Amino acid sequence: MQDPAAPTCVPVLALFATVILMPLAASQAALGTPWTLQASEWAGACAMCLLAFLKMQDLGRFAAVFLGHDLLARRWVPYARLYPFLEGGARLLVAADVLHGLAAAVALVIGAIGAASVVHAVWIEQRKLRCACVGSGTNVPFGALSPAENAMMIAMGIWMGTSLLP
């Protein structure tokens, strides 16, 4: 039996398996094929909304872990509790296909802050971090997920921003 305190990526794998299959099924039902651009947009929205939900389950513990590395949260503590709502809200706007400018701005700002924070903590300060990407109730090792989450937010902001161009 595995040690419950041992680091594991199972929660992340389960989340992303679900996130990939849900939009494919929805696209098949709504559009007659699973392989659509809409399915990929829904996948991103589902991923970030589920990640936000997991962070919200124990907002206090998430905020405590997040404060350990996020540059803005260290300067303005309420941001640590606000972050999951910004993350989930931006993705809900994408899923609803509304307020593209707001969704793009929020995604770009929080993605860029997150990316800069990870670079600063891991590569400049060379700190070992605990991943809070899937909330604080798991022991997911800090690895590719946090940078990927930030990259997804930045990519979403750019994608939604380009939809505003004439």
In 10 A of CB 14, how many CB atoms? 11
How confident is the model at residue 137, as a pLDDT? Answer: 63
Q: What does the buried/exposed string (b/e) look like for 94-104 if buried means 16 or more CB atoms within 10 Å of the residue's CB?
A: bbeeebbeebb
Q: Which residues contact 131 (CB under 8 A, 6 or more apart)?
A: 140, 141, 142, 143, 145, 146
Give me the mean pLDDT over the 116-142 stretch.
77
User: Residue 100 pLDDT > 90, yes or no?
Assistant: no
Give me the mean pLDDT over the 13-28 stretch.
89
Per-domain residue ranges for the chain? Answer: 47-162
Q: Could you identify the residue written with the tokens 């937010």?
A: 153
How confident is the model at residue 71, as a pLDDT? Answer: 95
Q: Rounded distance, CA 135 to CA 150, Å?
A: 15
Mean pLDDT of the chain: 85
How confident is the model at residue 1, as a pLDDT? Answer: 61
User: Residue 140 pLDDT > 80, yes or no?
Assistant: no
How confident is the model at residue 85, as a pLDDT? Answer: 96
Which stretch of 48-57, 80-89, 93-102, 156-165 has the lowest confidence by average pLDDT?
156-165
User: Residue 19 pLDDT > 90, yes or no?
Assistant: no
User: Residue 147 pLDDT > 90, yes or no?
Assistant: no
Q: Can you spell out the DSSP letters for 51-78?
A: HHHHHHTTHHHHHHHHTTT-HHHHHSTH
User: Residue 126 pLDDT > 90, yes or no?
Assistant: no
User: Residue 91 pLDDT > 70, yes or no?
Assistant: yes
